[in-house]
Amino acid sequence: MIVRTLQEAEQTNRKVVDPNNNWDSTRLLLKDDNMGFSFHITTIYAGADFQMHYQNHLESVFCMSGEGEVETLADGKVYPIKAGTIYILDKNDKHILRATKEMKMACVFNPPVIGNEVHNKDGAYELQADVITD
């Protein structure tokens, strides 16, 4: 059994801060936990407006608090996000995420991340074989 607290994980290298100051993400479950997915609590800062394209991962995102929107670039559709909303990037969707109020998100990635990923120039996480430790 694996038991962790968000507060403890935030004090380790499991907390990753976006170098562009759009978000921070505490990775509670990683590749080396051998569950086949990773689980993150991510804060999207108010005013954030950035493009992502997870070419190597599928992601589900549940908004626990805050407000914003997600825009799919393939069709230009804009979906409002508020507490209780889930969006699923099941087609490696290129998208823009905007936060009007700071958003706290629960995120699941498949395949799992190792823990230190930040977005590359295309807005994706690279696939990595290495394992990060506490």
Homologous superfamily in CATH for domain 15-110:
Jelly Rolls (2.60.120.10)
Q: If you count them, how many residues does the chain have?
A: 134
Structure tokens at 108: 């699941």
pLDDT tens column, 20-42: 899 999 999 999 999 999 999 99
pLDDT tens column, 46-103: 999 999 887 788 999 999 999 999 999 999 999 999 999 999 999 989 999 999 999 9
Residues 29, 31, 35, 39: is their CA dihedral positive or negative? positive
Q: Domain locations in the chain? A: 15-110
Q: pTM value? A: 0.86
For the chain, the straight-line distance linking the first and the last C-alpha, in angstroms and rounded, comes to 17
